[in-house]
């Protein structure tokens, strides 16, 4: 029984309901507040969207309760005067505190808020720029990844030389970016990402009944999915993805961190796709698109989507076989190395 129902169960049996929704009865407060007892039904309690309120039109005593707030001293007093035993009142007070704590916990995992983070001022939008020495390496890079300039608003910037910039949007606003190095060298990625951000959510509005979740931004662009920008699915990211209310299909990277991503996806109740027809050296969606083309890749992801945890585990053993063997070899070598030392 809810707290409000319990409070109602202690109301006097002699009572009447007014057209405005008040339950009227002889007030139980007045004699405790230095007034004479009410005999004219001047106490009233009303239930509204927020909770309940008691009001005495004789002595002026007021008490209210809202789910998510604690049980006030005045409400506890009222309950006592209504005849509720002390242990019931204590139990209600504890219950109210618990609901309050649960609500606070819920608020803490509420949806993330992203601040505006514009690109460098001198940034050049590749699909609208002229081909120049500045833009050629980036354009080449995009084509080498099996993508075109129309697939995403890619940028370059003289203030970030030798990099291609992938802007992060959220509800139409710029909220970060990732800048990938075009030639060899480190750092490979410079990431300007806010906690909980999910890449490419803005492009999930179309008619698909599913959303494909991948690790990297180029993987996401390749298959029109979203990216968690790493191997770990954060709780706030999961909330943003679940909010799309589509079937969620994770395509893990085929490396040792990918196993961790799969475990988290199972925990979240997501489907996982590890297409059996992808060659063993294909380690992510972008590799697959480069080799098989976009349509084939998306199709194989959908076909291989599996939602049963036990089956996902079994498929994982097969799909990550080489990765696991390599891990084992590495560990064996380390062990041998230690023995030699």
Q: Which is nearer to Zn ion, 10 or 189 (CB)?
A: 10
Q: Which of 242, 301, 232, 229 is nearest to 269 (CA)?
A: 242
Q: Map the footprint of Zn ion across residues 22-51, applying CB under 5 A.
A: 27, 29-30
Asked if 56 touches Zn ion (CB under 5 A), the answer is yes
Measured from the CB atom, the residue of 27 and 201 that comes closer to Zn ion is 27
217 is an interface residue for Zn ion by CB under 5 A:
no
Q: Which stretch binds Zn ion (CB under 5 A): 54-62, 67-75, 205-213, 261-269?
A: 54-62
What angle do the packed helices 86-108 and 73-82 form, to 10 degrees? 150
Contact flag: residue 82 with Zn ion (CB under 5 A)? no
Q: Which is nearer to Zn ion, 61 or 163 (CB)?
A: 61
Output 78 or 221, the one with its CB closest to Zn ion. 78
My answer on whether omega of the bond before 187 falls inside 30° of 0, hence cis, is yes
Q: How many CB atoms lie within 10 A of CB 162?
A: 13
Q: How far apart are CA 200 and CA 240, in angstroms?
A: 11
The crossing angle, in degrees rounded to 10, of helices 256-268 and 321-340 is 130
**Closest CB to Zn ion among 47 and 74?**
74
Cβ closest to Zn ion, residue 43 vs residue 275: 43
Is position 138 an interface residue for Zn ion (rule: CB under 5 A)? no
**Class of residue 305 by CB neighbours under 10 A (exposed 0-12, middle 13-18, buried 19+):** buried
Smallest distance, Zn ion to C-beta of residue 56, A: 3
Which of 3, 24, 54, 61 touches Zn ion by CB under 5 A?
Answer: 61
Is residue 227 involved in binding Zn ion (CB under 5 A)?
A: no
Give min distance, CB of 9 to Zn ion, in A.
Answer: 21
Per-position b or e across 69-88, b if 16+ CB within 10 A of its CB: bebbeebbbbbbbbebeeeb
- Smallest gap from residue 26 Cβ to Zn ion (A): 9
| Pairing status of strand 247-250 against strand 210-214 | parallel
Nearest distance in Å: CB 194, Zn ion: 54
Does residue number 89 form part of the binding site for Zn ion (CB under 5 A)?
no
If one asks whether residue 119 binds Zn ion (CB under 5 A), the answer comes out as: no
Q: In angstroms, what is the minimal distance from the CB of 57 to Zn ion?
A: 8
Q: How far apart are CA 239 and CA 109, in angstroms?
A: 9
- Selected range binding Zn ion among 2-10, 57-65, 78-86, 132-140, rule: CB under 5 A: 57-65
78 binds Zn ion (CB under 5 A): no
Tokens 């050296």 -> residue = 281
Among 52, 58, 258, 304, binds Zn ion (CB under 5 A): 58
Nearer to Zn ion, 56 or 262 (CB): 56
Q: How far apart are CA 164 and CA 181, in angstroms?
A: 7
For the bound state, the minimum distance from the C-beta of residue 29 to Zn ion, rounded and expressed in Å, comes to: 4
Instruction: Say which DSSP state 312 is in.
Output: H
Selected range binding Zn ion among 58-66, 120-128, 161-169, 234-242, rule: CB under 5 A: 58-66
- CB pairs under 8 A, 24+ apart, for 255-263? 255/283, 255/323, 256/323, 256/327, 257/231, 258/215, 258/231, 258/320, 258/323, 259/316, 259/320, 259/323, 260/231, 260/232, 261/215, 261/228, 261/231, 261/232, 261/233, 262/312, 262/316
Cα 126 off chain centre by: 32
The nearer residue to Zn ion, 59 or 221, going by C-beta atoms, is 59
Dist. CA 168–CA 72, nearest whole Å:
47
Of 58 and 200, the one with the shorter C-beta distance to Zn ion is 58
CB of 44 to Zn ion, least distance (A): 10
Binding site for Zn ion (CB under 5 A): 27, 29-30, 56, 58-59, 61
């Amino acid at each position: 029984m809810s707290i409000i129902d319990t409070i109602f169960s202690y109301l006097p049996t002699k009572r009447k309901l007014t057209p405005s929704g008040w339950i009227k009865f002889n007030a139980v407060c007045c004699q405790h507040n230095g007034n004479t007892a009410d005999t004219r039904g001047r106490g009233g309690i009303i239930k509204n969207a927020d909770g309940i309120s008691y009001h005495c039109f004789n002595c002026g005593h007021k008490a209210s309760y809202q789910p998510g707030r604690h049980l006030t001293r005045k409400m506890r007093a009222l309950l006592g005067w209504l005849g509720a035993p002390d242990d019931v009142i204590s139990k209600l007070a504890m219950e109210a505190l618990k609901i309050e704590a649960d609500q606070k916990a819920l608020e803490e995992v509420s949806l993330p808020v992203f601040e505006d983070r514009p690109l460098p001022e001198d940034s050049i939008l590749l699909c609208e720029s002229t081909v120049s020495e500045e833009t050629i390496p980036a354009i080449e890079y995009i084509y080498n990844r099996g993508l075109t300039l129309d697939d995403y608003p890619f940028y370059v910037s003289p203030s970030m030389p030798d990099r291609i910039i992938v802007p992060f949007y959220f509800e139409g606003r710029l909220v970060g970016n990732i800048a990938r190095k075009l030639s060899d060298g480190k750092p490979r990625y410079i990431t300007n990402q806010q906690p909980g951000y999910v890449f490419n959510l803005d492009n999930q509005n179309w008619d698909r009944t599913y959303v494909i979740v991948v690790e990297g931004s180029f993987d996401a662009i390749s298959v029109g999915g979203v990216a968690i920008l790493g191997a770990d699915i954060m709780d706030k990211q999961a909330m943003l993805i679940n909010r799309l209310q589509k079937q969620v299909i994770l395509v893990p990277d085929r490396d040792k961190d990918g196993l961790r991503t799969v475990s988290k996806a199972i925990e979240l109740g997501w489907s996982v796709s590890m297409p059996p027809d992808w060659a063993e050296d294909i380690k992510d969606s972008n590799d697959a698109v480069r080799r098989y083309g976009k349509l084939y890749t998306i199709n194989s992801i959908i076909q291989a989507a599996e939602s049963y945890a036990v089956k996902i585990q079994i498929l994982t053993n097969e799909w990550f076989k080489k990765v696991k063997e390599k891990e084992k070899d590495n560990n064996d070598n380390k062990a041998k190395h230690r023995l030699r030392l």
